[in-house]
Amino acid sequence: MRGVDKACIKFFGSWNKAIESAGLTPNRSHDDRMYKRSNAKALDGHLCDSISELLIDNWLYQNNIPHERNAQYPGTHHKADWQIISKSQKIFIEYFGLANDSPRYDRAVKEKKELCRKHKIKLIEIYHWDLYPKRKFEEKIKKSLRA
């Protein structure tokens, strides 16, 4: 658990409660099963499930990184948030925004990671601490695409 996570839990009880305290609408959590996604349209027209996904999609578009939304994992119902269009290898980007918030969500994260290992898909994992309070996901993506 990162410092930001610990501080949010200490002062607000959870990451989502900290988001609510800031006057924003949080993602669905384990305790809030009736959450409805708030779709947002990215600059390239992609529909995103959250403002966090919108930030990532817009950054990909503004940096001329060809990508598609909701790429299918091989042989499952799972979908990746993004697939980078590359002739040399398959690359998925996942925003795991609810990591450590729901046992069901954490199981899906584990399954996706295992599918990537099994099918030799490069996975770029982005978490809320890569976006907030400081945007660090840009360098994470750049570094992964260079490797």
Domain range holding 101? 37-146
Three-state SS for 56?
helix
What tens digit of pLDDT does each residue of 70-114 get? 999 999 999 999 999 988 899 999 999 988 888 999 999 999 999
* 21 assigned to some structural domain: no
- 8 A C-beta contact, residue 71 and residue 102: no
* 72 assigned to some structural domain: yes
CATH number for 135:
3.40.960
* CB-facing half-sphere around the CA of 36: CA atoms within 13 A: 2
* 31 assigned to some structural domain: no
* Structure tokens belonging to residue 146: 């260079």
* 100 assigned to some structural domain: yes
* 10 assigned to some structural domain: no
* 23 assigned to some structural domain: no
What tens digit of pLDDT does each residue of 46-70 get? 999 999 999 999 999 999 999 999 9
Say what the pTM is. 0.76
* 19 assigned to some structural domain: no
Number of domains in the chain: 1
* 134 assigned to some structural domain: yes
